[in-house]
Chain A
Amino acid sequence: MVKNRLFFKQQLFLTKTAMAFMLVLFVFLPLTGAFAASESRQLIFDNAGLLTEQQQADLQALAVEYGEKRETDYIFLTVDDPEAGDVTRYMEDFYDAYADENTGYENAVLLVLDMYERDVQLASFGEAKTSLEDDRLTMIREQITPDLSSGNYEEAFRHFVKTADKYMGIRPGINPESVIFKLWFQLAVSAGIGGIVVGIMLYNSGGKVTVNSNTYMDPSNSNVVQRRDRFIRETVTKRKKPSNNNNSRGGGFGGGGVTRGGRSYSGSRGKF
Chain B
Amino acid sequence: MIIHYKCPNCGDDMAFDSESGKLSCHSCGRKDTIEEFDDEFITTTFSQDEAKEYQCENCGAAVITDADTTATSCSFCGAGVVLADRLSGDLAPAMVIPFTISKEEAMAAFTKWCKKGRLTPKGFMTADRVKGITGIYVPFWMYDLNSKADVHAVGTKVRTYTRGDYIYTETKYYDVYRNIDLNYVKVPVDASEKMNDELMDKLEPYNYGSLKDFKTPYLAGYLAEKYNYTDNDLFPRVKAKVQKFIDSYISSTITGYSSVQYKNKHVDTRKRKSFYVLLPVWMVYYDYNKQEHTFAMNGQTGKVVGKPPISSGKVAAWFSAITGGTFVTLKVISLMLGGGLW
Q: Which residues of A contact B (CB under 8 A)?
A: 166, 169-171, 174, 176, 180-181, 183, 186-187, 189-191, 193-195, 197-198, 201-202, 205-213, 215-218, 221-241
User: A217 touching B183 by the CB < 8 A rule?
Assistant: yes
Name the residue on A nearest B118 (C-beta). A201
Q: Determine if B47 is an interface residue (Cβ-Cβ < 8 Å).
A: no
Which A-B residue pairs are the 8 nearest by beta carbons? A207-B305, A194-B323, A213-B245, A170-B338, A226-B179, A190-B327, A181-B339, A190-B326
Measured CB to CB, the closest approach of chain A to B89, in angstroms, equals 28
Measured CB to CB, the closest approach of chain A to B342, in angstroms, equals 7
User: B308 touching A215 by the CB < 8 A rule?
Assistant: no
How many residues in B have their beta carbons less than 8 Å from beta carbons of A?
67
A187 to B327, CA, bound (A): 6
Contact A229 B169, CB 8 Å, known A198-B319, A206-B202, A215-B205: no
Measured CB to CB, the closest approach of chain B to A199, in angstroms, equals 9
User: A239 touching B304 by the CB < 8 A rule?
Assistant: no
Q: Determine if B201 is an interface residue (Cβ-Cβ < 8 Å).
A: yes
8 A-B residue pairings within 8 Å (CB atoms):
A169-B340, A181-B337, A193-B322, A194-B326, A207-B305, A213-B249, A229-B174, A236-B171
Name the residue on A nearest B168 (C-beta). A238
A106 to B155, CA, bound (A): 60
The stretch of B14-22, B74-82, B159-167 in contact with A is: B159-167
| The one of B155, B320, B323, B334 that contacts A229, using a Cβ cutoff of 8 Å | B155
User: A208 touching B183 by the CB < 8 A rule?
Assistant: no
User: A202 touching B315 by the CB < 8 A rule?
Assistant: yes
A228 to B315, CA, bound (A): 51
| The one of A169, A207, A213, A240 that contacts B338, using a Cβ cutoff of 8 Å | A169
Name the residue on A nearest B257 (C-beta). A229
User: A228 touching B172 by the CB < 8 A rule?
Assistant: no
User: A225 touching B310 by the CB < 8 A rule?
Assistant: no
Q: Determine if B184 is an interface residue (Cβ-Cβ < 8 Å).
A: yes
